[in-house]
Protein backbone atom coordinates (compact mmCIF):
# COMPACT_ATOMS: atom_id res chain seq x y z
CA UNK A 1 0.00 0.00 0.00
CA UNK A 2 1.24 3.46 -0.83
CA UNK A 3 0.04 6.85 0.28
CA UNK A 4 -2.30 8.55 -2.16
CA UNK A 5 -0.29 11.75 -1.88
CA UNK A 6 2.41 10.23 -4.12
CA UNK A 7 0.64 10.86 -7.43
CA UNK A 8 1.53 8.64 -10.33
CA UNK A 9 0.75 9.20 -14.02
CA UNK A 10 -2.60 7.82 -15.05
CA UNK A 11 -1.92 4.48 -16.74
CA UNK A 12 -4.95 4.93 -18.95
CA UNK A 13 -3.44 8.06 -20.44
CA UNK A 14 0.15 6.88 -20.65
CA UNK A 15 0.29 3.61 -22.56
CA UNK A 16 -2.53 1.97 -20.66
CA UNK A 17 -5.42 -0.19 -21.76
CA UNK A 18 -7.64 2.24 -23.68
CA UNK A 19 -9.28 0.43 -26.56
CA UNK A 20 -7.73 -2.93 -25.67
CA UNK A 21 -9.81 -4.13 -22.73
CA UNK A 22 -13.13 -3.43 -21.05
CA UNK A 23 -12.99 -0.91 -18.23
CA UNK A 24 -13.03 -2.58 -14.85
CA UNK A 25 -16.48 -2.58 -13.32
CA UNK A 26 -17.84 -2.75 -9.81
CA UNK A 27 -21.15 -3.85 -8.32
CA UNK A 28 -22.41 -3.49 -4.76
CA UNK A 29 -23.93 -6.74 -3.48
CA UNK A 30 -26.18 -6.48 -0.39
CA UNK A 31 -25.83 -9.39 2.04
CA UNK A 32 -28.56 -11.04 4.11
CA UNK A 33 -28.89 -12.19 7.73
CA UNK A 34 -28.62 -15.92 8.48
CA UNK A 35 -28.83 -17.69 11.88
CA UNK A 36 -25.66 -19.65 12.71
CA UNK A 37 -25.94 -22.15 15.53
CA UNK A 38 -28.43 -21.26 18.29
CA UNK A 39 -27.00 -17.97 19.44
CA UNK A 40 -25.43 -16.12 16.53
CA UNK A 41 -26.75 -14.29 13.49
CA UNK A 42 -24.34 -13.56 10.66
CA UNK A 43 -24.42 -11.33 7.60
CA UNK A 44 -23.82 -13.57 4.60
CA UNK A 45 -22.06 -11.67 1.82
CA UNK A 46 -21.15 -14.66 -0.37
CA UNK A 47 -22.39 -16.66 -2.16
CA UNK A 48 -24.90 -14.41 -3.91
CA UNK A 49 -27.34 -15.35 -6.64
CA UNK A 50 -25.31 -14.12 -9.60
CA UNK A 51 -21.95 -13.69 -7.95
CA UNK A 52 -20.99 -16.89 -6.22
CA UNK A 53 -17.28 -16.30 -5.69
CA UNK A 54 -14.39 -13.85 -5.55
CA UNK A 55 -11.42 -15.87 -6.75
CA UNK A 56 -11.66 -19.12 -4.80
CA UNK A 57 -13.41 -17.32 -1.89
CA UNK A 58 -16.85 -18.95 -1.99
CA UNK A 59 -18.41 -18.02 1.34
CA UNK A 60 -18.20 -14.87 3.47
CA UNK A 61 -19.95 -14.50 6.83
CA UNK A 62 -19.54 -11.36 8.95
CA UNK A 63 -20.66 -11.74 12.57
CA UNK A 64 -21.02 -8.97 15.16
CA UNK A 65 -20.01 -6.68 16.60
CA UNK A 66 -22.27 -7.74 19.44
CA UNK A 67 -22.18 -7.80 23.23
CA UNK A 68 -22.23 -11.42 24.41
CA UNK A 69 -21.93 -10.63 28.12
CA UNK A 70 -23.91 -13.28 30.02
CA UNK A 71 -24.57 -15.19 26.78
CA UNK A 72 -22.83 -18.23 25.29
CA UNK A 73 -21.26 -16.38 22.33
CA UNK A 74 -20.33 -18.53 19.34
CA UNK A 75 -21.71 -22.07 19.79
CA UNK A 76 -21.34 -24.18 16.66
CA UNK A 77 -21.31 -27.91 17.52
CA UNK A 78 -19.34 -30.54 15.56
CA UNK A 79 -20.16 -30.54 11.84
CA UNK A 80 -18.41 -31.85 8.72
CA UNK A 81 -16.76 -30.16 5.73
CA UNK A 82 -15.49 -31.31 2.34
CA UNK A 83 -13.65 -29.60 -0.50
CA UNK A 84 -12.93 -26.27 1.19
CA UNK A 85 -10.75 -24.35 3.62
CA UNK A 86 -12.25 -22.35 6.48
CA UNK A 87 -10.62 -19.04 7.41
CA UNK A 88 -11.54 -17.60 10.81
CA UNK A 89 -10.63 -14.02 11.74
CA UNK A 90 -11.59 -12.24 14.94
CA UNK A 91 -11.38 -8.58 15.82
CA UNK A 92 -13.09 -9.16 19.18
CA UNK A 93 -13.95 -12.23 21.25
CA UNK A 94 -12.57 -15.72 21.61
CA UNK A 95 -13.47 -19.03 19.94
CA UNK A 96 -12.09 -22.48 20.66
CA UNK A 97 -11.65 -24.59 17.53
CA UNK A 98 -11.61 -28.37 17.95
CA UNK A 99 -11.43 -30.81 15.06
CA UNK A 100 -11.24 -34.49 14.16
CA UNK A 101 -7.46 -34.25 13.80
CA UNK A 102 -7.26 -33.60 17.55
CA UNK A 103 -6.66 -29.84 17.23
CA UNK A 104 -7.77 -27.83 20.28
CA UNK A 105 -6.93 -24.22 19.51
CA UNK A 106 -8.19 -20.98 20.95
CA UNK A 107 -8.27 -18.08 18.49
CA UNK A 108 -8.04 -14.44 19.55
CA UNK A 109 -8.07 -11.15 17.63
CA UNK A 110 -5.24 -10.77 15.12
CA UNK A 111 -4.75 -14.51 14.72
CA UNK A 112 -5.74 -16.79 11.86
CA UNK A 113 -7.28 -20.25 11.94
CA UNK A 114 -7.10 -22.06 8.60
CA UNK A 115 -8.64 -25.50 8.29
CA UNK A 116 -8.35 -27.53 5.10
CA UNK A 117 -11.10 -30.12 4.79
CA UNK A 118 -9.68 -32.03 1.85
CA UNK A 119 -11.90 -35.09 1.47
CA UNK A 120 -13.36 -34.77 4.96
CA UNK A 121 -12.95 -33.23 8.41
CA UNK A 122 -15.25 -32.25 11.27
CA UNK A 123 -14.88 -29.40 13.75
CA UNK A 124 -16.62 -27.34 16.43
CA UNK A 125 -16.32 -23.63 17.17
CA UNK A 126 -17.37 -22.61 20.66
CA UNK A 127 -16.72 -19.54 22.75
CA UNK A 128 -15.32 -20.67 26.11
CA UNK A 129 -17.53 -20.24 29.23
CA UNK A 130 -15.38 -17.29 30.29
CA UNK A 131 -15.15 -15.07 27.23
CA UNK A 132 -14.68 -11.40 26.38
CA UNK A 133 -17.75 -9.15 26.29
CA UNK A 134 -17.54 -8.55 22.54
CA UNK A 135 -17.79 -10.84 19.53
CA UNK A 136 -16.83 -9.64 16.06
CA UNK A 137 -15.25 -11.46 13.16
CA UNK A 138 -15.35 -13.13 9.80
CA UNK A 139 -15.63 -16.68 8.66
CA UNK A 140 -14.72 -17.33 5.07
CA UNK A 141 -14.48 -20.43 2.92
CA UNK A 142 -12.02 -21.05 0.12
CA UNK A 143 -12.98 -23.63 -2.51
CA UNK A 144 -10.24 -26.18 -3.09
CA UNK A 145 -9.31 -26.83 -6.73
CA UNK A 146 -9.62 -30.34 -8.15
CA UNK A 147 -5.97 -31.20 -7.46
CA UNK A 148 -6.27 -30.36 -3.73
CA UNK A 149 -9.81 -31.26 -2.80
CA UNK A 150 -9.20 -34.99 -2.29
CA UNK A 151 -6.17 -34.36 -0.06
CA UNK A 152 -5.61 -34.99 3.62
CA UNK A 153 -7.31 -32.67 6.11
CA UNK A 154 -5.02 -30.14 7.77
CA UNK A 155 -5.24 -27.41 10.40
CA UNK A 156 -3.04 -24.32 10.75
CA UNK A 157 -3.05 -21.67 13.46
CA UNK A 158 -1.05 -18.52 12.75
CA UNK A 159 -0.56 -16.37 15.85
CA UNK A 160 1.64 -13.90 13.96
CA UNK A 161 0.76 -12.51 10.55
CA UNK A 162 2.56 -9.85 8.50
CA UNK A 163 1.37 -6.40 9.63
CA UNK A 164 2.34 -3.18 7.84
CA UNK A 165 1.88 0.32 9.13
CA UNK A 166 1.27 2.98 6.48
CA UNK A 167 0.46 6.35 7.96
CA UNK A 168 -2.84 5.95 9.79
CA UNK A 169 -3.53 2.56 8.23
CA UNK A 170 -2.67 -0.85 9.65
CA UNK A 171 -2.65 -3.61 7.04
CA UNK A 172 -2.67 -7.29 8.05
CA UNK A 173 -2.07 -9.95 5.40
CA UNK A 174 -4.09 -13.06 6.30
CA UNK A 175 -3.72 -14.96 3.05
CA UNK A 176 -1.47 -14.63 0.03
CA UNK A 177 0.97 -11.91 -0.99
CA UNK A 178 0.20 -8.20 -0.69
CA UNK A 179 2.88 -5.75 -1.75
CA UNK A 180 6.08 -7.09 -0.24
CA UNK A 181 4.34 -9.00 2.56
CA UNK A 182 3.34 -12.65 2.35
CA UNK A 183 1.16 -14.65 4.72
CA UNK A 184 2.42 -18.07 5.90
CA UNK A 185 -1.07 -19.54 5.36
CA UNK A 186 -1.13 -22.45 2.91
CA UNK A 187 -3.59 -22.02 0.03
CA UNK A 188 -3.98 -23.78 -3.32
CA UNK A 189 -5.00 -21.06 -5.82
CA UNK A 190 -3.76 -17.46 -6.40
CA UNK A 191 -5.55 -15.69 -3.57
CA UNK A 192 -5.31 -12.75 -1.20
CA UNK A 193 -7.09 -11.70 2.00
CA UNK A 194 -6.11 -8.44 3.73
CA UNK A 195 -7.54 -6.37 6.58
CA UNK A 196 -7.11 -2.58 6.45
CA UNK A 197 -7.77 -0.63 9.64
CA UNK A 198 -7.72 3.17 9.48
CA UNK A 199 -7.96 5.46 12.48
CA UNK A 200 -9.35 8.56 10.83
CA UNK A 201 -10.12 10.38 7.60
CA UNK A 202 -7.65 9.52 4.86
CA UNK A 203 -6.92 8.11 1.44
CA UNK A 204 -4.93 4.94 0.83
CA UNK A 205 -3.73 3.17 -2.29
CA UNK A 206 -3.77 -0.60 -2.29
CA UNK A 207 -1.64 -2.45 -4.86
CA UNK A 208 -3.75 -4.96 -6.82
CA UNK A 209 -3.01 -7.89 -9.10
CA UNK A 210 -4.63 -7.08 -12.48
CA UNK A 211 -5.51 -10.74 -13.12
CA UNK A 212 -7.45 -10.95 -9.82
CA UNK A 213 -11.07 -10.09 -9.17
CA UNK A 214 -11.69 -8.45 -5.78
CA UNK A 215 -14.29 -7.91 -3.11
CA UNK A 216 -14.27 -5.13 -0.51
CA UNK A 217 -16.34 -5.26 2.66
CA UNK A 218 -16.49 -3.09 5.74
CA UNK A 219 -16.44 -4.63 9.20
CA UNK A 220 -17.02 -1.19 10.73
CA UNK A 221 -17.23 2.36 9.43
CA UNK A 222 -17.61 3.54 5.86
CA UNK A 223 -15.08 3.17 3.05
CA UNK A 224 -15.35 4.87 -0.35
CA UNK A 225 -14.06 2.62 -3.11
CA UNK A 226 -14.42 2.96 -6.90
CA UNK A 227 -17.12 5.62 -6.54
CA UNK A 228 -19.18 3.57 -4.06
CA UNK A 229 -19.57 3.86 -0.30
CA UNK A 230 -19.26 0.46 1.36
CA UNK A 231 -20.71 -0.01 4.85
CA UNK A 232 -21.15 -3.19 6.93
CA UNK A 233 -23.62 -5.61 5.33
CA UNK A 234 -22.61 -5.30 1.68
CA UNK A 235 -19.78 -6.53 -0.53
CA UNK A 236 -18.39 -4.45 -3.38
CA UNK A 237 -17.34 -6.75 -6.23
CA UNK A 238 -14.60 -5.52 -8.60
CA UNK A 239 -13.83 -7.15 -11.95
CA UNK A 240 -10.19 -7.88 -12.91
CA UNK A 241 -8.08 -5.26 -14.65
CA UNK A 242 -6.97 -2.94 -11.86
CA UNK A 243 -3.38 -2.48 -10.70
CA UNK A 244 -4.37 -0.42 -7.67
CA UNK A 245 -7.35 0.68 -5.66
CA UNK A 246 -7.86 3.86 -3.67
CA UNK A 247 -9.76 3.59 -0.42
CA UNK A 248 -11.02 6.82 1.13
CA UNK A 249 -12.35 6.92 4.65
CA UNK A 250 -14.34 9.76 6.21
CA UNK A 251 -13.43 8.42 9.68
CA UNK A 252 -12.38 5.27 11.50
CA UNK A 253 -12.98 2.12 9.48
CA UNK A 254 -12.09 -1.54 9.29
CA UNK A 255 -12.18 -2.87 5.74
CA UNK A 256 -11.42 -6.29 4.33
CA UNK A 257 -10.12 -6.97 0.82
CA UNK A 258 -10.61 -10.39 -0.79
CA UNK A 259 -9.12 -11.29 -4.13
CA UNK A 260 -8.08 -14.09 -6.41
CA UNK A 261 -7.88 -15.36 -9.95
CA UNK A 262 -11.38 -16.19 -11.19
CA UNK A 263 -12.17 -19.79 -10.19
CA UNK A 264 -13.12 -21.72 -13.30
CA UNK A 265 -14.45 -24.96 -11.80
CA UNK A 266 -18.18 -25.42 -11.29
CA UNK A 267 -19.24 -26.25 -7.74
CA UNK A 268 -22.10 -27.91 -5.92
CA UNK A 269 -22.35 -26.16 -2.54
CA UNK A 270 -24.83 -27.61 -0.07
CA UNK A 271 -24.81 -27.26 3.73
CA UNK A 272 -21.15 -27.61 4.73
CA UNK A 273 -20.01 -29.45 1.63
CA UNK A 274 -18.31 -28.16 -1.51
CA UNK A 275 -18.32 -30.79 -4.23
CA UNK A 276 -18.71 -31.19 -7.96
CA UNK A 277 -21.86 -33.31 -8.29
CA UNK A 278 -25.18 -34.17 -6.62
CA UNK A 279 -23.92 -37.70 -6.01
CA UNK A 280 -20.81 -36.51 -4.16
CA UNK A 281 -22.83 -34.35 -1.80
CA UNK A 282 -25.37 -37.14 -1.16
CA UNK A 283 -22.47 -39.47 -0.31
CA UNK A 284 -20.88 -36.91 2.04
CA UNK A 285 -24.20 -36.44 3.83
CA UNK A 286 -24.69 -40.20 4.17
CA UNK A 287 -21.15 -40.64 5.50
CA UNK A 288 -21.66 -37.91 8.12
CA UNK A 289 -24.99 -39.31 9.30
CA UNK A 290 -23.48 -42.84 9.48
CA UNK A 291 -20.42 -41.67 11.45
CA UNK A 292 -18.00 -42.46 8.61
CA UNK A 293 -15.19 -40.44 6.97
CA UNK A 294 -15.30 -37.29 9.14
CA UNK A 295 -13.82 -38.65 12.39
CA UNK A 296 -14.84 -37.35 15.79
CA UNK A 297 -14.30 -34.05 17.56
CA UNK A 298 -13.08 -34.88 21.05
CA UNK A 299 -13.33 -32.43 23.92
CA UNK A 300 -16.53 -30.80 22.71
CA UNK A 301 -19.51 -31.56 24.94
CA UNK A 302 -22.14 -30.57 22.35
CA UNK A 303 -23.83 -33.21 20.20
CA UNK A 304 -22.82 -33.24 16.51
CA UNK A 305 -25.14 -31.34 14.18
CA UNK A 306 -27.37 -33.59 12.08
CA UNK A 307 -27.38 -32.80 8.37
CA UNK A 308 -30.58 -31.18 7.09
CA UNK A 309 -32.78 -33.11 4.67
CA UNK A 310 -31.70 -32.98 1.07
CA UNK A 311 -33.92 -31.03 -1.31
CA UNK A 312 -36.29 -33.13 -3.37
CA UNK A 313 -34.67 -31.92 -6.60
CA UNK A 314 -31.15 -32.69 -7.79
CA UNK A 315 -28.41 -30.32 -6.66
CA UNK A 316 -26.94 -28.55 -9.68
CA UNK A 317 -23.34 -27.50 -10.23
CA UNK A 318 -23.00 -23.75 -10.73
CA UNK A 319 -20.25 -21.62 -12.14
CA UNK A 320 -19.05 -18.46 -10.43
CA UNK A 321 -21.85 -16.43 -12.04
CA UNK A 322 -24.50 -18.78 -10.64
CA UNK A 323 -25.20 -20.40 -14.01
CA UNK A 324 -26.16 -24.03 -13.74
CA UNK A 325 -24.22 -26.70 -15.58
CA UNK A 326 -25.93 -29.82 -16.84
MN1 LIG B 1 -17.42 -25.09 9.92
Q: Is pLDDT of 12 > 60? A: no
In words, the CATH class of domain 10-16+23-260 is mainly beta
pLDDT for the residue 259:
98
Cα-to-centroid distance, 39 and ligand 1 (Å):
15
Q: How far is the CA of 2 from the centre of ligand 1 (A)?
A: 36
CA-nearest of 221, 217, 266 to 238 is 217
pLDDT score at 4: 40
On the question of pLDDT at 2 being above 70, the answer is no
Do 39 and 75 meet the contact criterion of CB atoms below 8 Å apart? yes
Interval 31-61: pLDDT, tens: 999 987 777 789 999 999 989 999 999 999 9
pLDDT-derived band at 326, boundaries 50, 70, 90: low
pLDDT of residue 18: 43
Q: What percent of the chain has pLDDT over 70?
A: 93
Gyration radius (Cα) of the chain, Å: 20
Label residue 12 exposed, middle or buried (CB < 10 Å: 0-12, 13-18, 19+): exposed
Q: How far is the CA of 251 from the centre of ligand 1 (A)?
A: 34
Residue 13 pLDDT level (bands cut at 50, 70, 90): very low
The predicted-structure confidence for 112-128, as pLDDT tens digits, reads as follows 999 999 999 999 999 99
The Å distance, Cα 81 to ligand 1 centre, comes to: 7
| CB 268, CB 82: distance < 8 Å | no
Q: Which of 210, 212, 223, 107 is nearest to 169 (CA)?
A: 223
* Rounded distance from Cα 272 to ligand 1 centre (Å): 7
What is the CA(151)–ligand 1 centre distance, in A? 18
Percent of the chain's residues with pLDDT above 90: 88
The answer to whether 72 and 135 are in contact (CB under 8 A) is no
Centroid of ligand 1 to alpha carbon of 129 (angstroms): 20
C-alpha of residue 49 to centroid of ligand 1, in Å: 22
Q: How close is the Cα of 168 to the center of ligand 1, in Å?
A: 34
Q: pLDDT at residue 220 above 50?
A: yes
What's the CA-to-centroid distance between 149 and ligand 1, angstroms?
16
Determine the distance separating the centroid of ligand 1 and the alpha carbon of 212, expressed in angstroms.
Answer: 26
pTM (2 d.p.):
0.92
pLDDT level of residue 21 (50, 70, 90 thresholds): low
Pair 236, 257: CB distance under 8 Å: no
What are the residue boundaries of the structural domains of the chain, listed by start? 10-16+23-260
pLDDT in tens, 245-295: 999 999 999 999 999 999 999 999 999 999 999 999 999 999 999 999 999
Scored b (16 or more CB within 10 A) or e, 236-262 reads: bbbebbbeebebbbeeebbbbbbbbeb
Q: Is 69 exposed, middle or buried (0-12, 13-18, 19+ CB in 10 A)?
A: exposed
> How remote is the CA of residue 123 from the centroid of ligand 1, in Å?
6
Whether 11 shows a pLDDT value over 60: the answer reads no
Could you tell me the distance, in angstroms and rounded to a whole number, from the CA of residue 76 to the centre of ligand 1? 8
Ligand 1 centroid to residue 312 C-alpha, Å: 24
Amino acid sequence: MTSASAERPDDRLYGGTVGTAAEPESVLLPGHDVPLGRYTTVRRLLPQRERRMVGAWCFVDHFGPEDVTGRPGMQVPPHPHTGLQTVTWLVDGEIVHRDSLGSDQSIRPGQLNLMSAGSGISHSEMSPAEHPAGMHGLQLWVALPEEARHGEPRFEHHAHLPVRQDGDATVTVLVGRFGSAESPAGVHTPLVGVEVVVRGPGSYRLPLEPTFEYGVLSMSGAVDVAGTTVTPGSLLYLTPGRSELTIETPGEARAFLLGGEPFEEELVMWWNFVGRSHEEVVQAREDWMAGRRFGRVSGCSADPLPAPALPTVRLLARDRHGRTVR
